[in-house]
Chains A and B, each alone.
Chain A
């Protein structure tokens, strides 16, 4: 899926539409340069998950991982600070030390896991919805989404069905969508194999 020429309100509306189709256990990758709107996207998405305190969603850059309880809990992860951990091995060890599975288990049910700067999310097989944000001028953003794995593909289809028709280019149904991978369909961080990447 691709949408162009989105202002902040349109981007937030699209994020809320996605939040409304998530059930918990999904992994979202948020990609894009500094200031592209990743945190803004997650904050809007959180509003649709029925979080207990949606206003508390903010940038986890400093704390790396923040959890939010709710109807569908949210685990908000930012690997920006792992991104410069040097060689991939060091970043991989740093990711392992975060022990996101243990953090997820402290929540009432499997969370939506939203990951900013996911380059160092050390599970190449994870079923995930990849959301890429890009600048189209100071007040406009482009968004592209693709699914890797069956759970993400189902959510992407539901999201596209509910989202307002594209106002910019890329109107053809299905264009820009991509479904890759053959992972097992286990998408919850709780079920993520300890051996992945290790």
Chain B
């Protein structure tokens, strides 16, 4: 059987996206980013987000079909992110997808946003091929999530550890705000960190020797206390040192926990996905750890680290190919390991 051709819509948070995948091969991927809309506010504004999704969804779907050279009649299935996320934002994508499903009679798959991120590592296009979806440990790091997942197969996910307070991406955004660096915080801190001394300030590595859960709230507090005590950095060098020291603290913890997850599960393979997976400091440190310990490492391509619909389409295509029946239930706050989403072999 040829790889299923799937059109997917993603609107769970900041981006309105649509894509067509043939299996895990990306035929098209369109993302209407809202970063410019939200930048003046230092973060997403839910009401603006829903309105912006609504304004963009038809356009991105049409463009995804056109870019992929695909007509609705060619498709095998439709997919949409049905959680977690802001209810209003999710519903814009779900309503659009339901409309298309009614009009075409195609099956509609609701996909968990984080399952999409798991598949972002496996996407293939003209520039790269992430390789097949095989058992692995996944480090999922983004603005809203930081978790380690034991992936034994399609729909067989066990959460090994997660953040107890702030997500890693949230720590980047909030520290950037503390330092007056704007939104989003990750890229600008990553750039500055590259010129700074990561040993300049000894920030805490919370729980680094303890289990697989994360805590980044204390680190954020430590940066706030440092700025309060010493004043905001007055030179570019001081700012770069502070960014490098903060980023090193985040990266050290992420790498240590990922290694521990590999050791406790006995899985020989690490995948990394989510917006923070685009961070240069994290990618370099993980690559060094993979060389040192001799395990295969696969990071999502940077263009697929942020939210996109190609990863949703690929996850749905895998379910179609495996003969999993379609289901859709909008759940704003349900974990990746929810039994209702499991694939029973």
Spell out A's residues near B (CB within 8 Å).
Answer: 33-35, 39-40, 43, 53, 55-56, 58-59, 61-68, 80-82, 84-86, 90, 93-94, 96-99, 102-103, 135, 138
Residues of A within 8 Å of B224, CB to CB, are 33-35
Please tell me if the beta carbons of B166 and A64 are within 8 angstroms of each other in the complex: no
Indicate whether A96 sits within 8 Å of B47 (C-beta atoms), given known contacts A63-B144, A67-B333, A103-B87. yes
- Which positions 216-264 of chain B face chain A at CB distance < 8 Å? 217-218, 220-222, 224-225
How many angstroms between the C-alpha atoms of A63 and B84 in the bound complex? 8
Minimum C-beta distance from A162 to chain B (A)? 25
Once the chains bind, are B41 and A58 in contact (CB under 8 Å)?
Answer: no
Q: Are A94 and B47 in contact (CB under 8 A)?
A: yes
A34 and B45: CB pair below 8 A? no
- Residues on A with beta carbons closer than 8 Å to the beta carbon of B170: 59, 61-62
Q: Is the CB of A43 within 8 A of B164?
A: yes
**B332–A65 CB distance below 8 A:** yes
B163 touches A82 (CB 8 A): no
- Please list the residues of chain B having a beta carbon within 8 angstroms of any beta carbon in chain A: 13, 40-48, 50, 84-88, 143-144, 162-167, 169-170, 174, 178, 213, 217-218, 220-222, 224-225, 332-333, 335
Q: Decide: A84 and B165 in contact? CB cutoff 8 A.
A: no
Residues of B within 8 Å of A33, CB to CB, are 224
Contacting pair B41 A86 (CB below 8 A): yes
Residue of A nearest to B175 (CB): A34
Which of B40, B85, B87, B166 lies in contact with A61, CB distance below 8 A? Answer: B166
The interface residues of chain A lying within 8 Å CB-to-CB of B86 are 63-65
Write the nearest CB–CB distance from B126 to chain A, whole angstroms.
32
Write the chain B residue with the least CB distance to A62.
Answer: B144
B224 nearest CB across to chain A (Å): 5
Residue in A40, A55, A94, A138 whose CB lies within 8 Å of B48: A94
Contact of A97 among B47, B165, B167, B222 (CB under 8 A): B47
Alpha-carbon gap, A56 to B47, bound state (A): 26
Among B45, B221, B225, B332, the residue within 8 A (CB) of A81 is B45
B334 to chain A, nearest CB (A): 10
User: Chain A residues near B221 (CB, 8 Å)?
Assistant: 34-35, 138
Cross-interface CB contact of A34 among B85, B87, B220, B333, cutoff 8 Å: B220
Decide yes or no: A35 and B43 within 8 Å by CB, A58-B162, A61-B166, A99-B88 being known contacts: no
Nearest chain B CB to A175's CB is how many angstroms away?
29
Chain B nearest CB from A157 CB (Å) reads 30
**Which residues of the other chain, A, contact B167 by a CB distance below 8 angstroms?**
58-59, 62
Residues of A within 8 A of B213 (CB): 55
* A83–chain B nearest beta-carbon distance, Å: 8
**Extra contacts besides A40-B165, A62-B144, A62-B169 (17): CB < 8 Å:** A34-B220, A43-B164, A58-B163, A61-B166, A61-B174, A63-B84, A63-B86, A65-B86, A65-B333, A67-B332, A68-B333, A81-B46, A82-B45, A84-B41, A94-B45, A98-B88, A103-B332
A39, A80, A90, A94: the one contacting B165 at CB < 8 Å is A39
Q: How many angstroms from the CA of A43 to the CA of B213 in the assembled complex?
A: 14
Q: Bound state CA distance, A56 and B50, in angstroms?
A: 26
Show 21 A/B contacts (Cβ-Cβ < 8 Å), sorted by A: A35-B217, A39-B166, A40-B165, A55-B164, A56-B162, A58-B162, A58-B167, A59-B165, A59-B166, A63-B332, A64-B86, A65-B333, A67-B333, A81-B43, A81-B45, A84-B42, A85-B45, A94-B48, A97-B47, A97-B50, A138-B222
Chain B residues lying within 8 Å of A68, measured Cβ to Cβ, are 333
Could you tell me the distance in whole angstroms from the C-beta of A107 to the nearest C-beta in chain B? 11
